[in-house]
Structure 1
């Protein structure tokens, strides 16, 4: 056995990094995730690691890499685990976490693995002014994702430290960026700073109605539930950008760009319109029939990662059940799910539950996209933080060239 891996042998950071095939900074990331233990040596000698523990982690990492099916992209992450009927944030049941703590604290848990009670996010004045001016210059018909993308770009330019990719700097940017995104959106209702929670700030950007404490709690729950969901298309785009060492604002911009696609970000808008139509026509059956007759999928149903109902939808439905104004929209959503269930069909997903909230609180159809994008920014930042600790540009697939074989005549 190599003397560096004998039982009880201690090695330094550089040797641990060599055995793991990573940079020294990533060794300490493993420590923060609980995958390695370190011992601080005497002054001037730094930290040491148990060589056997390092080698065991290296073997495990090699096995995980070898276990990825050919042609599939597997990304190591310690953030979200999805099982057939539930999901977890850093090993904690995500629904329980989101039901007990506000969005800001759930975001901090994703970022740091700690839960600082009373966490609040505040937008820096310079960034907020720049973002508001940029958003105000857009055409009146601009959608929420248009405004958010422009706000991110403006906030980035206002932050001279955006290229600092150290954990502390990225966390500082994240805590400023999310409230800047919300604050840059035009207000359509009465502002109520209240307790300073992000859900309260967002409310006046979504509906002209007065803030309702029960409805605010549902909105906050939706934000927390949507904070992350493993490697959705937008999250993968964020990790690709972070792999190229794009700063966190640029990484979030990549996520927003992917969210613009009709297969990822538009489901909430479609579910909202469907529920509004069900309420207008007085029943789910004719609306579902029209969708099926036209060959369109019924929005708000089905999720490839869950066998039954999306656990995020289950949690939101339970909270909406106590909201008086949500009664009609909630009945409409359950009617849609019941009609589809006759065929042994798909179960409700989070888009349908979010549509119940937006319809019942007088929000426009695009409000679900806004809630989703603001909420998911926390998860995007968490994934960027992880990716900054990995080897740069590691997600570089090779193209399978299908064109004519060279040499070809010059055109």
Structure 2
């Protein structure tokens, strides 16, 4: 990403005047509202063109797959923030989204960048299995994680990942990225010497890259999806508050082991 002075002061996303709003060349009121789903608009905003039926189906599936996963840390942060500042939905929403990183909910980007690296290596050698094997061995030697594999709860296999890959096959989206991800899932357990099922972040990365989504924009998918889940939790927090209960139980669960008070 370029930083500093730019000689390209332009945007191709949207403009407006007194009578209309134009998004990617489409009139918002007459060509988009009432005619597109939100997923289709999301694709149009990001890529500047409307998705085909296969792309639309995979984007919708990925958004649904990652929208909600219970009282994960990002949700707890959002609910406790709203409990402390009930007038600040935007602050509570931000608290949840800010926690989406390489461990919780935001790891699709890391998985996607790893798959892109694998594709480059496989294209250079002409051998996908060799590229995957050598990469896994390097990761093992470095004691590094395999992006897109493993889950602390779904240790026997992430059902969301399985469903997304199944849909990618059904819609004829699966191509090299899905193939590389499946090779990782097949080869990693023996090389890394531990159970490493394909997780939902890896599946989202693979199917969306094969569908034509840019790797630079992969993190937008879980961010947009989880915003819907966070909104549901914040609405429930206003009706059935548990933010302070979460805070109380956190305080009860943690024991102080610092210096004792000096008399």
CA contact (8 A) 2:118 2:180 kept: yes
Matched, 1:235 2:75: yes
**How many pairs align?**
224
TM-aligned CA deviation for residue 208 of structure 1:
5.1
TM-aligned CA deviation for residue 255 of structure 1:
0.4
Distance 1:295 1:253 in 2: 33
TM-aligned CA deviation for residue 401 of structure 1:
4.1
Call closer, same or farther: CA 1:357–1:367 in 2, change over 3 Å: farther
Q: Which moved more, 1:388-397 or 1:269-278?
A: 388-397
TM-aligned CA deviation for residue 360 of structure 1:
1.7
Q: RMSD across aligned C-alpha pairs, in angstroms? A: 2.8
TM-aligned CA deviation for residue 337 of structure 1:
0.6
TM-score of the superposed pair, with normalisation by structure 1? 0.49
Q: Which has the higher contact order (CA 8 A, sep 6+)?
A: 2
Matched, 1:296 2:147: no
Q: Which moved more, 1:189-198 or 1:372-381?
A: 189-198
Distance 2:140 2:216 in 1: 23
Distance 2:177 2:195 in 1: 21
- Return the match for 2:56 from 182, 205, 216: 216
Distance 2:25 2:154 in 1: 39
Who wins on radius of gyration, i.e. which is larger?
1
CA contact (8 A) 2:66 2:226 kept: yes
Give unpaired runs (5+ residues) of structure 1: 1-138, 142-186
Cross-structure match for 2:225: 375
Distance 1:349 1:395 in 2: 27
TM-aligned CA deviation for residue 357 of structure 1:
2.6
Distance 1:392 1:209 in 2: 42
TM-aligned CA deviation for residue 329 of structure 1:
1.2
TM-aligned CA deviation for residue 318 of structure 1:
0.9
Matched, 1:256 2:256: no
TM-aligned CA deviation for residue 296 of structure 1:
0.9
Q: Which moved more, 1:250-259 or 1:336-345?
A: 336-345
Q: Which moved more, 1:365-374 or 1:292-301?
A: 365-374
TM-aligned CA deviation for residue 387 of structure 1:
2.0
TM-aligned CA deviation for residue 252 of structure 1:
0.7
**Which digits, 9 at most, give the CA deviation of each residue in 1:374-400, with x for residues without a partner?**
111111111112222226733334374
SS of the residue corresponding to residue 313 of structure 1 reads helix
CA contact (8 A) 2:161 2:200 kept: yes
Distance 1:297 1:381 in 2: 31
Give unpaired runs (5+ residues) of structure 2: 4-22, 123-127
CA contact (8 A) 1:277 1:287 kept: no
Cross-structure match for 2:260: 405
TM-score of the superposed pair, with normalisation by structure 2? 0.74
